[in-house]
């Protein structure tokens, strides 16, 4: 049974310590302004009980009838949770009224909710409001929540993605919070909120998301959405924000047969918080294959699909967003709708690749489930340098021979995922292939495909030891041959490029591109590279996903770190080297980049991250979100706002968000 009784709601309030400790959450103000106890007469949780007891708990919605009921109970502040009913031209007036210089409501502003109002919000959400305590606070001896054992645990598990995904506000790229309250610095600094939001709502039902959306829109609060916080650009952070934490929306349902105008076959219905690992596990259980990223913690229906999403299966089945059959979403006006090929079609187009935190809060998606596939491939680790068998010159000759064959491999549903790390100035390189594989291919065919390259390598004296594998399903290939990626490194930033197939047409142009990539690596950049071509399979409905992806056969992520504590001038120089120098040289060959693994400072992000789809995405954004309720760096429409007090060479999320232009 999922009926949330009032008694339970009030008990839950008790679990939210920071508010409950203040004694505020159990009281409420009536229309006369008197503070009265909150009980089953004065307040009721703001969600309709499900009509069907078997229904997903997360489908419980906020309705006009409930709001009318709450208003009838003469509670204070209920109008802060009303939907916005304006549409079309009326709604665009809302946008016009927001003048340049206006900032999102921040703590200390007149419009910032009182603790009492936060308490009402907490009650309505059934106690789902969490006042932010940064994850590192337990490491600060002068902080009320200091806990040496918990601190040791966090320090030990810091680079594991779950440590951050399971916390309401922690993120995997601490750079953008201003590296505030880092657990490592507990004995030497103060814990402040920095770029962390002020509050988070732990969403387990649609109604909590609707309440948060309405509340933030009415008060002009900065609103962010955090799922797992894998984002590399600081998108799931924001100083003074209210955060909607979708990580706990975990439903997975398998449907044997689904029919849409363009698809007929099996499908999986997944909540917004379902992680890649959970999705693959479920698909394996039902004997099907699902398209997700390579890292197990990344959220499938969250930022991953919203941003397009590349996968080991992308050359065969397209981007993650090409798998989507329908999307459930809470819109900026607070309404909960479904977008598909037959309803809300503009939204359906935009939500598949147009970016996270832009058009609303996605609560669930239905995605295609493909038949089981054979997986054959290879892994290796090869080093070059004067203490190895491979001189650098031979290493690069071998690499160029591999790169030269990318167009022919892309014809073969390839996924070639490898990393090159310089071992230090003049000390050679380490190249890890993890893995190179072709979904659906037998090992014999795979070996035949790679043999010509291996023959070339042998002829030039390149030493390598391939380790081949074969599995009759994707899940085993993925669990056995993919690395676990560490996260939460500070002092590190990455950028990316999508190199189109046409760059190989002219050999001189192609070789100049190889030279430029090599020189960037020589200058200290890592190169995480993917040989794949996520073109949309025939019959896939058009979508807002980056048009540059469709042409790409080589996706490269580059970047570098810097020593902690360097001066602002040195820091600026590193940032400019990545964005202007390295990316400047490579943009000539690959104008596109990938918004989920891109450069937060990408100068023309509209073209790089969205390609020919930007203008239509922006039109849809204006219509659906005339309030600019959703904002994230490099998101569609984000150019209209900026973080106050930031140098233009690094977007930390530590200042106020203010409007710059119309």
Chain residues in the site for ligand FAD (CB under 6 A)? 172, 224-232, 235-236, 246, 272, 293-295, 298-299, 302-304, 306-307, 309-310, 356-357, 361-362, 485, 487, 596-597, 632
Least distance in Å: CB of 483 to ligand FAD? Answer: 10
Q: How far is the CB of 332 from ligand FAD (least distance, A)?
A: 11
Angstrom distance (rounded) from CA 582 to CA 503 = 18
Q: Judged by CB under 6 A, does residue 275 bind ligand NAG?
A: yes
Taking the complex as a whole, the smallest distance from the CB of residue 251 to ligand FAD amounts, in Å, to: 13
Question: Is residue 342 a contact point for ligand NAG (CB under 6 A)?
Answer: no
Tally of helices (H runs) and strands (E runs) in the chain: 22, 22
Closest CA to 285 of 541, 531, 48, 475: 475
Q: Choosing among ligand FAD, ligand NAG, none, which partner's interface includes residue 294 (Cβ < 5 to 8 Å by kind)?
A: ligand FAD
Question: Which of ligand NAG, ligand FAD, none sits in contact with 83, Cβ below 5 to 8 A by type?
Answer: ligand NAG
Going by C-beta distance under 8 Å and a sequence separation of 6 or more, which residues neighbour residue 594? 307, 308, 310, 496, 498, 546, 549, 555, 609
CB pairs under 8 A, 24+ apart, for 265-268?
Answer: 265/368, 265/369, 265/370, 266/368, 266/369, 266/370, 267/325, 267/366, 267/367, 267/368, 267/369, 268/366, 268/367, 268/369
Largest separation between any pair of C-alpha atoms in the chain: 88
- Give the Cα separation of 353 and 306 in Å (integer): 5
In the complex, minimum distance from the CB of residue 457 to ligand FAD, in angstroms, rounded to a whole number: 27
DSSP 26: T
Helix (H, G, I), strand (E, B), or coil: what is residue 643? strand
Minimum CB–partner distance for residue 630 and ligand FAD (Å)? 8
Q: How far apart are the first and last CA of the chain?
A: 49
Placement of tokens 């932010």 in the chain: 132
Name the binder of 309 from ligand NAG, ligand FAD, none, CB < 5-8 A by kind: ligand FAD
Q: Is residue 655 part of the contact set for ligand NAG (CB under 6 A)?
A: no
Select from 81-89, 127-135, 394-402, 474-482 the region that touches ligand NAG (CB under 6 A): 81-89
Task: Dig out the tokens for 530 from the structure.
Answer: 């993917």
In sequence order, the β-bridge partners of residue 527 are: 420, 558
Question: Which of 302, 439, 556, 633 is close enough to bind ligand NAG by CB under 6 A?
Answer: 302
**Minimum CB distance to ligand NAG smaller for 382 or for 450:** 382
State the minimum distance, in angstroms, from the CB of residue 177 to ligand NAG: 17
Contact between 219 and 77 under an 8 Å Cβ cutoff? The reply is: no
* Least distance to ligand NAG, CB of residue 621, Å: 18
Q: Give the one entry of ligand NAG, ligand FAD, none that residue 226 binds, where binding means its C-beta sits below a cut-off of 5 to 8 angstroms depending on kind.
A: ligand FAD
| CB of 501 vs ligand FAD, minimal distance in Å | 20
208 closest CA partner among 25, 364, 361:
361
Which residue from 203, 300, 289, 294 is spatially nearest to 243, judged by alpha carbons? Answer: 203
The option from ligand FAD, ligand NAG, none interacting with 91 (CB < 5 to 8 A, set by class) reads: none
Q: How far apart are CA 254 and CA 83, in angstroms?
A: 33
Give the nearest distance from C-beta 232 to ligand FAD in angstroms: 6
In sequence order, the 6+-apart residues with CB closer than 8 A to the CB of 426 are none
Asked if 549 contacts 308 with a C-beta cutoff of 8 angstroms, the reply is yes
CB-nearer residue toward ligand NAG: 19 or 347: 347
Closest to ligand NAG by CB, 290 or 608: 290
Report the residue number whose CB is nearest to ligand FAD. 356
Cβ pair 64, 210 in contact under 8 A: no
Write the binding mask 213 to 252 for ligand NAG: x where contact by CB under 6 A, - elsewhere.
--------------xx-----------------x------
Choose among ligand NAG, ligand FAD, none what residue 427 binds, the Cβ cut-off being 5 to 8 Å by kind: ligand NAG
Q: Can residue 186 be called a binding residue for ligand NAG (CB under 6 A)? A: yes
Binding partner selected for residue 310 from ligand NAG, ligand FAD, none, CB under the kind-specific 5 to 8 Å limit: ligand FAD
Determine the residue with CB nearest ligand NAG. Answer: 299
The least distance separating ligand FAD from the CB of residue 44, rounded to whole angstroms, comes to 27
- Residue pair 4/45 in contact (Cβ under 8 Å)? The answer is yes
SS3 readout for 119-133: HHHHHHCCCCEEECC
CA dihedral 275, 278, 284, 289 (to 10 degrees): -10
Residue 312, interface with ligand NAG (CB under 6 A)?
A: no
State the binding partner of 262 from ligand NAG, ligand FAD, none, CB within 5 to 8 A by kind: none
Q: Which of 107, 261, 287, 426 binds ligand NAG (CB under 6 A)?
A: 426
The yes or no reply on residue 156 touching ligand NAG (CB under 6 A) is yes
Cβ of residue 226: shortest distance to ligand FAD, in angstroms? 5
**How many amino acids of this chain bind ligand NAG (CB under 6 A)?**
42
Q: Is 387 in the site for ligand NAG (CB under 6 A)?
A: yes
For the chain, the helix, strand and coil percentages under 3-state DSSP, each to the nearest 5: 35, 20, 45
Which residues of the shown chain bind ligand NAG in the complex (CB under 6 A)?
44, 64-66, 69, 82-83, 85, 139, 151, 153, 156-157, 163, 183-184, 186-187, 227-228, 246, 272-276, 279, 297-306, 362, 386-387, 426-427
């Amino acid at each position: 049974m999922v009926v949330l009784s009032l008694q339970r709601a009030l008990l839950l309030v008790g679990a939210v310590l920071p508010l409950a400790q203040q004694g505020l959450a159990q009281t409420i103000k009536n229309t006369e302004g008197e503070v009265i106890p909150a009980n089953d007469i004065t307040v009721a949780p703001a969600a309709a009980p499900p009509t069907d007891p078997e229904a997903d708990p997360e489908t419980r919605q906020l309705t006009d009838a409930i709001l009318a009921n709450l208003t009838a109970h003469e509670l204070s502040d209920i109008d802060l949770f009303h939907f916005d009913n304006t549409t079309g031209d009326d709604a665009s007036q809302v946008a016009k009224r927001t003048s340049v210089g206006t900032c999102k409501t921040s703590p200390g502003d007149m419009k910032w909710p009182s603790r009492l109002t936060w308490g009402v919000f907490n009650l309505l959400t059934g106690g789902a409001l969490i006042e932010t305590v940064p994850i590192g606070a337990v490491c600060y001896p002068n902080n009320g929540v200091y806990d040496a054992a918990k601190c040791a645990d966090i320090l030990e598990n810091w680079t594991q993605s779950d440590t951050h995904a399971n916390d309401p506000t922690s993120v995997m790229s601490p750079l953008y919070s201003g590296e505030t309250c880092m657990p490592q610095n507990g004995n030497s600094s103060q814990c402040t909120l920095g770029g962390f939001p002020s509050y988070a709502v732990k969403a387990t039902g649609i109604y909590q998301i609707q309440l948060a959306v309405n509340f933030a829109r009415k008060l002009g609060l900065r609103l962010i959405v955090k799922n797992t916080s894998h984002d590399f650009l600081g998108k799931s952070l924001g100083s003074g924000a209210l955060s909607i934490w979708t990580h706990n929306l975990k439903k997975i349902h398998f449907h044997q047969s689904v029919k849409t105008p363009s698809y007929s076959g099996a499908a999986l219905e997944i909540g917004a918080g379902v992680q890649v690992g959970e999705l693959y596990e479920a698909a394996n259980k039902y004997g099907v294959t699902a398209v997700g990223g390579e890292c197990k913690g990344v959220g499938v229906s969250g930022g991953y699909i919203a941003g397009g999403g590349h996968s080991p299966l992308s050359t065969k089945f397209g981007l993650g967003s090409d798998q989507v059959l329908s999307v459930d979403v809470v819109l900026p006006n607070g309404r909960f709708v479904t977008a598909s090929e037959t309803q809300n079609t503009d939204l359906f187009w935009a939500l598949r690749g147009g970016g996270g935190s832009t058009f609303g809060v996605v609560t669930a998606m239905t995605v295609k489930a493909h038949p089981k596939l054979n997986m054959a491939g290879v892994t290796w680790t090869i080093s070059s340098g004067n203490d190895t068998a491979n001189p650098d010159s031979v290493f690069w000759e071998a690499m160029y021979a591999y790169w030269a064959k990318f167009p022919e491999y892309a014809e073969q549903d390839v996924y070639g995922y490898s990393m090159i790390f310089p071992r230090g100035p003049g000390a050679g390189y380490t190249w890890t292939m993890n893995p190179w594989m072709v979904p659906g291919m037998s090992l014999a065919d795979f070996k035949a495909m790679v043999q010509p390259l291996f023959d070339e390598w042998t002829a030039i004296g390149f030493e390598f030891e391939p380790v081949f594998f074969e599995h009759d399903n994707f899940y085993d290939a993925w669990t056995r041959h993919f690395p676990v990626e560490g996260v939460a490194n500070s002092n590190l930033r990455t950028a990316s490029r999508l190199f189109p197939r046409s760059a190989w047409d002219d050999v001189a142009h192609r070789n100049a591109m190889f030279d430029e990539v090599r020189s960037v690596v020589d200058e200290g950049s890592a190169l995480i590279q993917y040989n794949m071509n996520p073109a949309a399979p025939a019959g896939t409905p058009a979508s807002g996903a980056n048009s540059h992806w469709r042409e790409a056969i080589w996706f490269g992520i580059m970047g570098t770190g810097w020593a902690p504590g360097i001066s602002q001038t040195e820091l600026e120089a590193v940032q400019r080297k990545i964005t202007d120098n390295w990316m400047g040289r490579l943009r000539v060959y690959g104008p596109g980049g990938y918004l989920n693994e891109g450069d937060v400072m990408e100068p023309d992000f509209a073209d790089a991250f969205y390609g020919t789809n930007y203008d239509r995405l922006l039109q849809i954004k204006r219509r659906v979100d005339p309030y600019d309720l959703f904002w994230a760096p490099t998101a569609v429409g984000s150019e209209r706002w900026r973080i106050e007090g930031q140098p233009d060479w690094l977007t930390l999320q530590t200042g106020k968000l203010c409007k710059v232009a119309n």
